[in-house]
Structures are given as C-alpha cells and as structure tokens.
Chain A
Amino acid sequence: MKNRLRVLRAEREWSQAELAQKLEVSRQSVNAIETGKFDPSLPLAFRIARLFETTIEVVFLDVSDIPSPIQSNHSTKEFE
C-alpha cells in the first residue's frame, strides 16, 4: 500500500525518530511504513491519521484505486 507519510512528516519537519516517539513505535517501524515494506494495522493507521489531523484515506492510498495510465486514457476518451 502506498502512503504519504514521508511527505506529511517532511511538511512538519519531523525526523523519523520524532514521529516514532509520537506514535509510540520504533523508528524502524516508521521507516518500514514509509518505504512500503510494512502496512500498519487499522489502529496504528488511525493513530497516524489522527496525529496529522487528517483521514486515513489522505495518508494511505490503495494501489487498486489509483488508475493506471491505460485506464485513465481510456476513461478520458470515454469522457470526451
């Protein structure tokens, strides 16, 4: 699952260690989530969203929801 954690963290100028401290997880966890190696559980996802004062959908993006270039071209033609 893709996510915007790195972007959101950079906007607030927090280091991985600072974010880890705020979320009460290890720095390795933050790194693993940011790099997409680990998908957090729903409670942790909620905690992350709450910390950034946003919704889960803003932080995490389901890859299947992102249209591929072919699909988007197709849909554009259909729209035209």
Chain B
Amino acid sequence: MHTCIKGFNAFQLRSIRLIEIVMGLTVATQIILQAILERHNVSIAAHYGMGALAVVPVIASMILIARYLSGEKDEYLRNLVVQSILWGFGLALIVDIFLSFVDHHFFLPIGNINMDVFILTSSITLEFKIQRNQ
C-alpha cells in the first residue's frame, strides 16, 4: 500500500497507516490465537474469550475505515476505496465459500483466512486502480 502514498495529504497518510497497523494486528491476532488453540487444550470459556479477542481488531478496522471515509474530502479517492473494499469483501466471501467445501481435502488446516484475503484483495485493487489513473 505504501507505493501509492505519494501525493496524499496528512489525514490520508495517517488514516492509511492506522488502518495498516490495525489490519496487521488483526492478522497477527488470528495467527497467534489459532496457534494457541491448536497446541493447547483450552476451556470453553477461554474459547469464547479468544473469539471475542479475535474480533476486536476487526471492529477497530471497521471504525477506522468508517472514520476515514467520512473524513475523506476527495470524492474520487473515496470512491476508489469503497470499490476496493467491496472487491475485498467479495473475494473473501468467494474464497470462504469455496474452502468450506474443499478444506477437508487439504493436508494442512488452512484456518480462517478471510481477513488476509480481504486485506490483500483490497490493497491490490486500490493500488491497481490508483496506478491505472496516474
């Protein structure tokens, strides 16, 4: 995402950095919590606790993206971000539905990769759309 940062104002840069940090935290939290679940026998209460902990960064991402979209004055850029987010959601949904049918054939458990797919797709789409209109 950093390659498309040139020419952005302070608000856009701050928002992008914050969103990147929180999304990174989301992925890290998911990986760590899933690793704990696989290696340790945790109680049902701990399962619920970890589930709640895993969604905190996702909620934070949603708040940050909503704050960015409401504060973004450049309507073209706002339009691009919304389009990229929709692509991200769409592809995450497609991958999730597909894997729900085939994941038992894999040798290694794939785990929950929705957020990873969402972040990757949204970032690549945004980068592509910005580069295309240079």
Smallest CB separation, B83 vs chain A (Å): 11
Do A29 and B77 have beta carbons less than 8 Å apart? yes
Question: Is B101 engaged at the interface, CB distance under 8 Å to the other chain?
Answer: no
Report the contact-size class of chain A (Cβ under 8 Å from the partner).
Answer: 10 to 19
Interface residues of B in 85-108 (CB under 8 A from A): none
Measured CB to CB, the residues of A under 8 A from B are: 24-29, 31-33, 35, 37-38, 40-41, 44
Contact of B133 among A25, A31, A40, A44 (CB under 8 A): A31
Measured CB to CB, the residues of B under 8 A from A are: 7-8, 73-77, 79, 130, 133-134
Q: How far is the CA of A38 from the CA of B80 in the complex (A)?
A: 10
> Is chain B's interface secondary structure helix, strand, loop, or mixed overall?
loop
Do B75 and A26 have beta carbons less than 8 Å apart? no
Q: How far is the CA of A72 from the CA of B121 in the complex (A)?
A: 47
Q: How far is the CA of A38 from the CA of B133 in the complex (A)?
A: 11
Which B residues lie within 8 Å of A27 (CB)?
A: 7
Q: How far is the CA of A27 from the CA of B134 in the complex (A)?
A: 8
Do A26 and B7 have beta carbons less than 8 Å apart? yes
Do B7 and A29 have beta carbons less than 8 Å apart? no
